Structure 1
Amino acid sequence: MNVARILYPVKVLGPGNRIGIWIAGCPRRCVGCSNPELWETQPKYEVTVFRIMQILIPLLKRRETDGVVITGGDPFFDSRELYHFLLSLEPYTKDVLVYTGYTMEEIQCGDACMKSCLDHIGVLIDGPYQEQLNDGCRMRGSSNQHIYYLRPELKQCYEVYMTSSPNRIQNFTVADGIVSVGIHSRGFNKKLISEARKRGVILGEQ
């Protein structure tokens, strides 16, 4: 797996305290993407599912951990690795939220691994990000995306979460800077670069 980030506790991508996993690799290059630095895979991010689980199991066993969110990049970019990862997670949590630029129809028409992933995902949010449709819809980057409750027992919890507050941003301090997590408003990257420049900080433009 090409895993760029593991953050905990993520409170703004699904209900409760979640383990956030960002997988690198995405061919779509959506305009306005909040994570363009994760479009390309990198050798330094390569790690086995076994090693990832060694890191995650202590967190998954915490009473305070409510679930996992997998995003990117695009987790379905390498559906075989995603499938094995989902199988490894299943004994520890059924609440696995996955964001993907693929549509549900594309996944259902994909290869065996891609289709089998759906059996081990709790909630799927599908579809490419379309900046012109970023209108503040809850938990989604743009309104063309859909929420699928693949484990129906999770629906009520998510619906309560979505009606409790608007989209929020959570910032994590990491070794090489700050990671901003959540559903960002339209034009967020440009606004961030502009505001940073006003303060004498030059950010990489992607």
Structure 2
Amino acid sequence: MNLRIARLHHPVTALGPGIRLGIWTQGCSLACPGCLSRDTWSAGPEHAVPVRSVLDWCEGHAADGVDGVSLSGGEPSEQPEALGELLNGLAERRERYHWDLLCWTGLEEAEFAARCPAAYGLLDGLVTGPYRAAEAGGGRWRGSANQRLIPLTALGRERYGPWTGTEPAPDAPGELQFQVESDRVYVIGVPRPGDPARIQRALAQRGVMLDGVTWRP
């Protein structure tokens, strides 16, 4: 089975606790205004990657001190069968390596569970709700105040419990990472209000001008 993939990255330290594997799916019909990941909205056959290849990539980093896997997008729930197969393989590795599995969705919890029942039953945590620019500035790992971080297992409660409230934990400020590939710059993490504009100004001061698909309208 294939899964439409936007990118894979290791190490990720800005989307969940510890050092993580990052998997971004390609394709999102929600199209939330102000989304930082507009490049993941459209999807085509060129984005298809065998689930087995993604699992092999994860396995290849197992010895690198990985604490968990973060799945974002795009909208992962728009590929329910492939997402379930991926999470089934990751759940096997969770038992072996003590990884936790955390997923972001623009749906509410009940909607995600109904659309992706197999995936929902394998996750340790779920960040739910559409991004709302007017409510920008949610809690830890959430872009807007309407979004919720929901632990789904004992492992999820252990690892995400300190950050399930609406305010970031005082000892864990927000963090962003930057991934540079050829002529592209990717932002990893959940920016605070005003961060995208600050990033754009900082890049411009270094002679880097943004073009193509970004968070801008």
Q: Secondary structure at the match of 2:146?
A: coil
In structure 1, how many angstroms separate the alpha carbons of the residues matched to 2:48 and 2:105?
20
Q: Which amino acid aligns with 1:3?
A: I
> How far did residue 136 of structure 1 move?
4.5
Question: Corresponding residue for 1:105?
Answer: 110
Which of 176, 185, 190 in structure 2 is aligned with 1:178? 185
Q: Which amino acid aligns with 1:179?
A: Y
> How far did residue 156 of structure 1 move?
2.7
Q: Does 1:51 align with 2:53?
A: yes
Q: Is the 8 A contact 2:105 2:112 kept in 1?
A: no
Q: 1:30 to 1:191 in 2, by over 3 A?
A: farther
Question: Corresponding residue for 1:31?
Answer: 33
Q: 1:70 to 1:82 in 2, by over 3 A?
A: same
Question: Corresponding residue for 2:208?
Answer: 201
In structure 2, how many angstroms separate the alpha carbons of the residues matched to 1:130 and 1:201?
28
> How far did residue 185 of structure 1 move?
1.9
Alignment of 1:158-169 (within 5 A): 158-160=160-162, 163=169, 164-169=171-176
Question: Corresponding residue for 2:77?
Answer: 76
Question: Corresponding residue for 2:15?
Answer: 13
> How far did residue 174 of structure 1 move?
2.4
Question: CA offsets, 1:3-41, max 9 Å, x none?
Answer: 111111101111111000010100011111010000011
Unaligned runs of 5+ in 2: none
Count of aligned pairs between the two proteins: 202
Q: Which amino acid aligns with 2:104?
A: Y
> How far did residue 160 of structure 1 move?
4.2
Q: 1:176 to 1:199 in 2, by over 3 A?
A: closer
Q: Which amino acid aligns with 1:76?
A: S
Q: CA RMSD in A?
A: 2.0
Alignment of 1:148-163 (within 5 A): 148-160=150-162, 163=169
Q: Which amino acid aligns with 2:100?
A: D
Q: Is the 8 A contact 1:125 1:148 kept in 2?
A: yes
Which piece of structure 1 moves more, 142-151 or 14-23? 142-151
> How far did residue 200 of structure 1 move?
4.4
Q: 1:125 to 1:198 in 2, by over 3 A?
A: same
Q: 1:72 to 1:199 in 2, by over 3 A?
A: same
